[in-house]
Structure formats: structure tokens, C-alpha cells
Amino acid sequence: MPPGSHLNPGPGPGPEPGPDAGPGAPRPGRRRAWAIGTPVVVLLCGGLFVASAENSEGTDLRPGRYTDLASLVSNESREYERLERRVAELTEDVAALTERVRDRDVNRYRREIAELRDPAGMVPRRGEGVTVTLTDSESGVVEAAGSDVDLNLFLVHQQDIQAVVNAMWAGGAEAVTVQGKRIVSTTGIKCIGNSVNLQGRPYSPPYVITGVGSAEQMLQSLEADDAVAEYRRQAALPEIAVGWELETDDEVTAPAYDGLLDLSYAEPIR
């Protein structure tokens, strides 16, 4: 080796690589990030599951089983019937407890209530009557009309049902039912999609409306009502053909009103 020359020892051997070291092996920092991030993600997912369970209250937040409106209406009707039975049971309990009370004021209120039960619709009515059935147009009529025609023309709406009910009242009906349910002064008939909500329960067509009273007077009133006349005109048109059927009976029955008695109303913000 020439004098004055020095050896360059080069880089040292450094630490020994681990057994899994390789071109794609994760660095120590990345391993620490995964070790911390994975539990955090699992905890967040668990929190979302708990929140969904609390919000759903035992129901399906995304009910895929409702493949059509008919299934939804049927499910809601069953739930309403269950609640209706529960209300009937509680009402019987309240009545039984009330009967045990012996008080002059309570007895006076009982007599007043008994007098108002019939005009309020709480007593069944039976007699001659008229039945009107309204239903949507058949699917073949709707398909033949094409896409340029307003589809609302082929459906029964709440105003159609209300027109028949009001005409029966105007014709002296003593009691009126829709789908077998007694109509009273607080009953609301609401359209929801192509179903009608009556006393909190959805119904699909056909809609059966029955009036108890003088059949002759109700027929005259139905004939003279402008809204009913317009519906019947559309029912007679082959390109629309919404359903209209009218029958008279020597004896029909309107059951007593069995819905909720509490009134709900809006109040102004103070």
C-alpha cells in the first residue's frame, strides 16, 4: 500500500434485517398505525350499530320486505288492529272502574254522556240504506291511455270519497260508514299515495261507502251533487272508467264508532 494512502472502510454492516424484511414489508411506523387504527374503526362501527338499534326501536330502518304498497298497507293495518284491540281493553277497564264510583256529579255526567252517545255515533244504526263502491281504473285502461295522460284521473281520491259521504249526509243519512268504519264529526279522510287513511289506518281500493237512512232521499242527493256527477261522468268514459257501483238495500248496519275519542289540534306558538 503506498505511503499516505488511506483505506475507505465504506458503510458498516448496520442492523440485521428481520426475517420478514423484503421489498414490500411494512415499515415499523406503518405497523403502529394499523395497530391503533383497526381498534378505532371497530369501535366506530359498533357505535353506529348501537345508534341504529336505538333509532329503529325494534323496526327495520330500511325495510326491503316492502316490495309494494299493498304489503305496506297490510302491515300497517295489522299494527293498527293490534293497537285498536289494546285501546278497547283499556276502555273496558276504565268503564269498569268508573262504574264503581258512587258520586252525584259522576252520575250526572253519566246521564249526559248516555244522551249524547247516539248523536255522537257511539250507538249502532240499522235500517234501509244505499251503498256506493268506488275503485281505481283497471290496469288495462291505464296502459292503453299512454304516458301523456294524467295518472290521477285513474285513481280514487279523498275528495271523491268525501263527496259521496257529504251527499249522503245531505240526503238525510242517519249514519255513514267507509270500509265498514263509522264516520263521525271528527273523522278525517286523507289520501296517502294511492291509499286512503281513515282514523289512522290505511285502506286500499275498492272503497265501500254505506249510508243508513231514506234510500230515496240519498239517491236524489247523490244525483244532484256536482262533485259526484263529475266522478260519474269520468266513470262512464271508456278512456278513464274509474269504478262506480251503487246499490240499495232494505237493511244495512252502521256499527258504533270505535276510534279514538281524544281530540288533537294545533296551538299557536306563544
The total of structural domains in the chain comes to 3
Per the structure, the complete domain to which residue 135 belongs is given by 124-254
| CATH code assigned at 239 | 3.30.70.1880
pLDDT digits (tens, 9 = 90+) for 132-166: 999 999 999 998 988 888 888 999 999 999 999 99
| Position with higher pLDDT, 212 vs 9 | 212
Give the H or E element holding residue 266.
none
What integer is the mean pLDDT of 15-22? 51
Please tell me the predicted confidence (pLDDT) of residue 116: 83
Q: 131 with 108, same domain? A: no
- Residue with the larger pLDDT of the pair 36 and 58: 36
128 lies in the same domain as 241: yes
The pLDDT mean for the chain works out to 79
Between 74 and 12, the more confident residue is 74
How many Å apart are CA 235 and CA 157, to the nearest integer? 13
Q: How many CB atoms lie within 10 A of CB 88?
A: 11
Q: Which of 66-75, 164-173, 210-219 has the lowest mean pLDDT?
A: 66-75
> Is 15 inside any structural domain?
no
Q: CA 40, CA 46: separation in Å to the nearest integer? A: 10
Half-sphere exposure of 234 (CA within 13 A, CB side): 19
Which carries the bigger pLDDT value, residue 51 or residue 78?
78
More confident residue, 183 or 53: 183
pLDDT of amino acid 70: 59
Q: For residue 270, is it within any domain? A: no
What confidence score (pLDDT) does residue 260 get? 73
Whether the pLDDT of residue 113 is over 70: the answer is yes
Domain shared by 128 and 110, yes or no: no
Q: Which helix (H) or strand (E) holds 197?
A: strand 195-198
Q: Are residues 43 and 164 in the same domain?
A: no
> Using an 8 Å Cβ cutoff, are 181 and 196 in contact?
no
User: Would residue 180 count as lying in a domain?
Assistant: yes
Query: pLDDT at residue 171 above 70?
Result: yes
In a domain, 260, yes or no: no
Domain check: are 90 and 194 in the same one? no
Per the DSSP assignment, residues forming a β-bridge with 248 are 130
Q: Are residues 166 and 90 in the same domain?
A: no
Cβ(242)–Cβ(156) below 8 Å: yes
Q: Report which of 133, 104, 112, 97 is spatially closest to residue 207, judged by C-alpha positions.
A: 133
* CA distance from start to end of the chain: 104
43, 95: one domain: no
The answer to whether the beta carbons of residues 252 and 129 sit under 8 Å apart is yes
